[in-house]
Amino acid sequence: MVAILRAMNTLGIQFGDSEQGAEDARIVCDVIQAMEDTKPFSEDLLDAMKRLWADSGVQECFARSNEYQLNDSAKYFLDDLDRLGAKDYMPTEQDILRTRVKTTGIVEVHFQFKNMNFKLFDVGGQRSERKKWIHCFEDVTAIIFCVAMSEYDQVLHEDETTVCLLF
């Protein structure tokens, strides 16, 4: 939600209900500034997020998410705020699979499948790390390049004028 709120400002998009939207945005941003994201949602925060997600300006900004950095799973989580905000909330398998931890640097994972050893490298997308990628390819016999189809029209984090797949 915070990414959408920031993008609304950048893209010049107004809340459908400007007074309520501004108050709800303040509630959400206050929680983020206080770094209280490990606590359960308060009723005020949950209500503010639900109103914001229903706001026409927020929806307009969400529709333009290729113009800023928004997690692919944002809609999944924002569509299910009641369940996520429940006092007895337990993450589902789908919730866990849809979470994202931003990688910084190169992350290497070793695993075995059908008696074959594999090394999986997550090289992230930071431009500053790209020169280090060459070291990932030492003694490599095959490469499988994976790309998120949902990112074909998204901009780079470090350069919001360049589309990811053009770089």
The encoded tokens of residue 22 equal 């501004």
Q: Is 99 annotated as a binding residue?
A: yes
Which residue is listed with tokens 């008696």? 115
Burial of 131 (0-12, 13-18, 19+ CB in 10 A): exposed
Q: Is 50 annotated as a binding residue?
A: no
Q: Is 10 annotated as a binding residue?
A: no
Q: Is 21 annotated as a binding residue?
A: no
Q: Is 73 annotated as a binding residue?
A: yes
Q: Is 100 annotated as a binding residue?
A: yes
Q: Is 24 annotated as a binding residue?
A: no
Instruction: List residues bridging with 1 in a β-sheet.
Output: none
- Residue 137: what residue type? F
| Residues contacting residue 72 through CB under 8 Å, at least 6 positions apart | 98, 100, 148, 150, 151
Q: Is 95 annotated as a binding residue?
A: no
Q: Is 123 annotated as a binding residue?
A: yes
Q: How far apart are CA 20 and CA 76, in angstroms?
A: 24
CA distances from 89 to 40, 83, 145, 157, 158 (A): 9, 7, 36, 32, 35
List residues forming the annotated binding site for Mg(2+).
103
List residues forming the annotated binding site.
72-73, 97-103, 122-126
List residues forming the annotated binding site for GTP.
72-73, 97-103, 122-126
